[in-house]
Structure 1
C-alpha cells in the first residue's frame, strides 16, 4: 500500500494496482502505467496494492485423534485479485492475521479427526481441505489463495523418541526372525550332512567287515590246502591268537592310547574265536 497522492499524474508499477478516491470515496482502480488525476475534483491515489504472490508461514499447534500434540508448519501463498483490489483494500485491515486465523480454525477442525499415522499419510489432503475452505472465505475480500504447502509435521519430542524405539524394536524383531531362519537352515544342513556321513560310514564299515570275512575265508582255505591234516577250527584259532598278540604289541608301542582292558587269556581268546567262527558259519549257511 502507498500513501495518498493528489498530484495531476502518478505512475503505478507493473504487477500493482492503484486505488483512486474522490473526496474520500472509492472512484476507480488505476492500472499499471501513467495515470492522470483531477485534484480539483477531489481525485487522488490513496494506495497501491501489489498483485504479486505473497507467502505467509503459519505454525499451528493441535492434537490428533490418538491424543498426540503436533505442530504443523504451513506455507500459504496468496495474492490480491486485480479486479477486486478495492475489496482487498477496504474490507480487511490486516489480511495476514485474518488468513492465519482461518488456517488455525480449519486445521484444528480437521486434524483431531485423524491419528498421527493418518496425518503423516494424508497431509496433502489436509492442505487441500484448508485451501478449499480458505479460498471460499478470502475470495470475498479480494484475495486469491494460490497454494497451501504442509511443510512439516512435528510431533512432541517424547512421541518421536517412542516412534523411533518402536521402529527399532520392529527391525530387531525382523532381524531375529531372519537370524532364526538362517540358524534353522544351517542346523538342517548339518543334520543332513551328519546323516549322509553316517550312512557312508556304515557302508564303509560293512565293506570293511565283508573284506575281513573274505580275507579270513581265503586264508583258512589256503592254509588248509597247504598244511595237510589241519582243520578250519585250528587255523581260525591260530589267526585269532596272531591278531591278539599284534594288538597287544601295538598298544605297547604307543604311549598315548586310552585303552580299556577286558579279561583275556588263551581261554577267552578261544571263546572269542568260537564266536567269530560261529558267526561266519551262520553267514555261510544263510548264503547257501
Structure 2
C-alpha cells in the first residue's frame, strides 16, 4: 500500500508531461482525437489531452529536394538519360491535405515527372534537348504545380541538371567536335600564314621602291657631279670645247677607278681599250641634259606655287 502514492505521483507527472507538445520551427503535427482529425499543431508549445489525442509524426515544412532520373528517346532515335531536380515544399495552409490525401507523395511526384519528360523529349532532336532543357524543366514545373497544389505540395523550382546520351552517341559527338575544332584551327593557321605572306610582300615591295629611289638619286648625283665638273672646266678654259672637257673628266675618273680596284688583292683586271669610254660619255651627256631639265621643272613648279600664294593673299 505504501507504493500507491508513488504510483499515483508518477501517473500524474506522466499525464502532466504528456499534455504538452513542443513543435519545432518550420514543422507541424496533426492531432487526431479518438481516430478523427482534430487540429494542427504549429511551432511552439502546444497542449494536448493525454490518452484522447494522438500526435502524428513531424511534417517537414522546409523546401525538400527530389532527384529523379528518367530514360527516354529523342526524336532522332537517341536514347538519353535526364536527371531532374525538383524542389518541393508542404504548404502551410494545406498541411492536412498533404498528410491525408497522398500515401506516398514523392512517388506520385516522380510519376508526374516521368510522364512530362517522356512526353516532351521525343518531340526534340538530341541537340534541341541540350539547347531547350530549361523549356523541359518549365513544362515539368507547370504540370506538377497544376496537380500537386490541391494535395498541399508547392513546386518551388524544377531543374534538368544532367543530360546523358548513350555512350556510342557521346563518342560520335566527341569525334565531330574534335574534327570541327581541328578544321577551325587549320583555317586560323592558314589565315595567319596568308596575312604573314601579305605583310612580307608589302615589306618587300616597299624595300624595292626605296632601293629604286636610292639608286635613282645616286645616279642623279653622279650626273650632276659630272655636269658641275664640265661647267667648272668651261669657265676656266674658255678655248676648250665641252666635248674635250668631258673626255678629260671621264678619263680622270676612269684611272681613279682603276687605281682603286688595283689596291684590292681579290680584284682581277681584264684587258680592255679606253676607247670604249665613248659610249659612257654619251650617256653622261644625256644625263646632264636630263638634270638640267629636271631643275627647270622644279624652278617652274616653285614659281607657280609662289604665284598662287600671292593671288590668294590678294
Relative to the length of structure 1, the TM-score reads 0.71
CA positional deviation for 1:17:
2.5
Within 2, Cα distance between the matches of 1:203 and 1:179? 36
Choose 180-189 or 212-221, whichever is displaced more: 180-189
Within 2, Cα distance between the matches of 1:179 and 1:197? 27
- Give 5+ residue unaligned stretches, structure 2: 1-14, 297-314
CA contact (8 A) 2:31 2:39 kept: yes
SS in 2 for 1:145: strand
CA contact (8 A) 2:94 2:152 kept: yes
**1:186 maps to which of 173, 195, 199:** 199
Aligned to 1:275: 282
Matched, 1:75 2:82: no
CA contact (8 A) 2:226 2:284 kept: no
CA contact (8 A) 1:64 1:116 kept: yes
C-alpha change, 1:174 and 1:64, in structure 2 (3 Å) is farther
CA contact (8 A) 2:223 2:284 kept: no
CA positional deviation for 1:105:
1.9
**1:264 maps to which of 265, 272, 289:** 272
Relative to the length of structure 2, the TM-score reads 0.66
CA positional deviation for 1:246:
2.5
Q: CA-to-partner distance for each residue in 1:98-127, whole Å, 9 max, x for gaps? A: 222221221232233344554444433322
Within 1, Cα distance between the matches of 2:208 and 2:173? 52
Within 1, Cα distance between the matches of 2:206 and 2:103? 86
CA contact (8 A) 2:226 2:288 kept: no
Within 2, Cα distance between the matches of 1:277 and 1:80? 109
1:1-288 maps to which residues of 2 (within 5 A)?
A: 9=19, 11=21, 13-14=23-24, 15-20=27-32, 22-23=34-35, 26-32=36-42, 33-37=45-49, 39=51, 44-65=54-75, 69-154=79-164, 157-158=170-171, 161-162=174-175, 164-165=177-178, 168-169=181-182, 172=185, 175-176=188-189, 179=192, 182-183=195-196, 186-187=199-200, 189-191=202-204, 193-194=206-207, 196-198=209-211, 200-222=213-235, 224-225=237-238, 230-256=240-266, 264-269=272-277, 271-272=278-279, 275-276=282-283, 279=286
Within 2, Cα distance between the matches of 1:22 and 1:255? 131
CA positional deviation for 1:172:
2.5
C-alpha change, 1:286 and 1:19, in structure 2 (3 Å) is closer
SS in 2 for 1:92: coil
Choose 232-241 or 127-136, whichever is displaced more: 232-241
CA positional deviation for 1:56:
1.1
CA contact (8 A) 2:230 2:246 kept: no
C-alpha change, 1:130 and 1:218, in structure 2 (3 Å) is same
C-alpha change, 1:197 and 1:266, in structure 2 (3 Å) is closer
SS in 1 for 2:103: coil
CA RMSD of aligned residues (A): 4.0
Within 2, Cα distance between the matches of 1:284 and 1:187? 35
C-alpha change, 1:99 and 1:255, in structure 2 (3 Å) is farther
C-alpha change, 1:138 and 1:192, in structure 2 (3 Å) is same
CA contact (8 A) 2:78 2:126 kept: yes
